[in-house]
Chains A and B, each alone.
Chain A
């Protein structure tokens, strides 16, 4: 086990320095912050709402992540295949699990760093009013978990192809599906003709349903478990795809 941890850490650090060694990281962070700022202030009217909470901020995450996270994840495996380094990494004495985990965690930490950089918003809210810190904390945890779920989808689609563009499009479509299945307009369309259990089933698979309850400040074990098991499932599929490429 210490070996696994050590190897995962080595891969993780290499990936993370890789992000910051290329312009990708800075472009991503700047665009993410600009967009989230634009939506929070100009579209959701953060100031005009006059409420000391960050709901107008966090409600944009599912939509922003939909495009930004696949752009981080698309290079995870597709690029290794294109450059040929996949042959190198697969013939080093480390297991596939360690590589998948290391790469995924690096990307996740990177997304986390981008999220943490939204801290001035928290400071403004603190200055302007008396927000519920518990809710804000929960919303950060929830959006971070949701980011991980998006990433795991992107990592999986990236393993399918050597083209980053294909990987990106597949990831966006898959994530859109995961978001929409719990979005009120879609669930409302089902109400009336579909049985209740089906509506609940479809909705319970959605990122949205689980995100909304965490965002409200309820850190339910079931929601956390949903995201973690979703990521596990996607990364497991990722491993199977890579293994099948081997033969």
Chain B
């Protein structure tokens, strides 16, 4: 388990990370979300001991990173931001170096390297110097380094940055697979990634944790959640709108687009009310031709924007209180 306890970091007078605490158990993949400069990388750097926290600490599998960093680091695989790799080394010799540092030698070493090369699809480039590789390959070489020793804990700063869609897909399914028996923290600003791999998402804004929940539940915070999205072929906008408006439990009807087809969204009075049935019945009574109908799940990007704005407001408030 990774336990992050009250991590706080000042850069000069600026508070980059403010009292961040959370836990990640094995079998969990925690997605770290936040606008640029929110403190994601700083938090990860503190967990891996690259930066010393101003206060607070991280305990990795029972070992405190600030007390016994080497022991803690043995349990961690870390993919830093921008995937740094020694440019003059070949991919193979770089992985060999990392394996040696991790204490592998002889047959065990080459077996692990071969396995990792296989897993990360690096076969074609292993004898090329890293500075001749494209961004995507460089990213994968550094990724390979982080999983080489099969660590219990994986910390990855933007693992799919710079990859093409196919590679993104591969890396994501790999992370999901590894998430079954490892504790993984990854940061990203691609929201679909959270859906694709994370069991939990944490949103951080201005150094504060502003949300820490399952992706589904985060999405439920969206104003769109539970609304019925309806496309009709032969209805006139205002008429349909007044029709649906009269239904019980309907709070608001919004017309999105009224050109060829009528596109509308029907909001429930409160969460947990299902409108689909009533809407269907009403449409049948009025002979509306339904092209499509579905219930909105809510959109993460909307929730993200909403929540991070709250974070901004909170840190502004903090500053005012301090003054």
Q: Which residues of A are at the interface with B, using a C-beta cutoff of 8 A? A: 7, 10, 14, 17-18, 21-22, 83-88, 90-95, 246-247
What total count of A-B pairs have CB within 8 Å?
A: 66
Given contacts A87-B50, A93-B73, A247-B51, are A18 and B89 in contact (CB under 8 A)? yes
- With contacts A10-B101, A17-B93, A91-B73 taken as known, whether A84 is within 8 angstroms of B84 at the C-beta atoms is yes
User: Is B22 interfacial (CB 8 A cutoff)?
Assistant: no
B322–chain A nearest beta-carbon distance, Å: 23
Residues of B with Cβ closer than 8 Å to A? Answer: 45, 48-52, 54, 70-71, 73-74, 76, 78, 80-82, 84-89, 93, 97-98, 100-102, 129, 142, 145
B97 touches A14 (CB 8 A): yes
Q: A17-B93, A87-B45, A247-B51 are in contact. Are A92 and B101 (CB under 8 A)?
A: yes
Cβ of A93 and Cβ of B84 under 8 Å apart? no
Complex alpha-carbon distance, A14 and B95, angstroms: 11
Chain A nearest CB, measured from B105 CB (Å): 9
Contact of B49 among A10, A18, A84, A91 (CB under 8 A): A91
Q: Given A18-B86, A246-B52, are A84 and B80 also a contact pair (CB < 8 Å)? A: yes
Q: State whether B80 touches A22 (Cβ < 8 A).
A: no
Closest B residue by C-beta to A90 = B50
Known: A21-B88, A91-B49. 6 other contacts (CB 8 A): A21-B129, A84-B82, A87-B81, A88-B84, A92-B101, A93-B71
Q: Are B101 and A7 in contact (CB under 8 A)?
A: yes
Instruction: List, in ascending order, chain A residues with CB within 8 A of B73's CB.
Output: 91-93
**Which of A17, A22, A87, A95 is in CB contact (< 8 Å) with B84?**
A87
Partner pick for B89 among A21, A86, A93, A246, CB 8 A cutoff: A21
| Residue in A84, A85, A93, A247 whose CB lies within 8 Å of B70 | A93
CB pair B101 A87 closer than 8 Å:
no
Residues on A with C-beta less than 8 A from B54 are 247
Asked if residues B84 and A94 are in contact (CB atoms below 8 Å), the reply is no
Shortest distance between the CB of B83 and any CB in chain A (Å):
8
Query: Assuming the A-B contacts A21-B88, A93-B74, A246-B51, are A10 and B80 also in contact, with contact meaning beta carbons closer than 8 angstroms in the complex?
Result: no
Does the CB pair B88–A91 fall under 8 Å?
no
Q: Which of A17, A21, A88, A93 contacts B80 (CB 8 A)?
A: A88
Give the contacting residue for B101; candidates A17, A21, A85, A94; CB below 8 A: A94
Residues on the A chain within 8 Å of B84, using CB = 83-88
Closest approach, in angstroms, between the C-beta of B154 and any C-beta of chain A?
A: 12
Alpha-carbon gap, A7 to B100, bound state (A): 8
Q: How far is the CA of A172 from the CA of B30 in the complex (A)?
A: 49
Contact B86 A246 (CB under 8 A): no
A4 to chain B, nearest CB (A): 11
State whether B70 touches A95 (Cβ < 8 A): yes
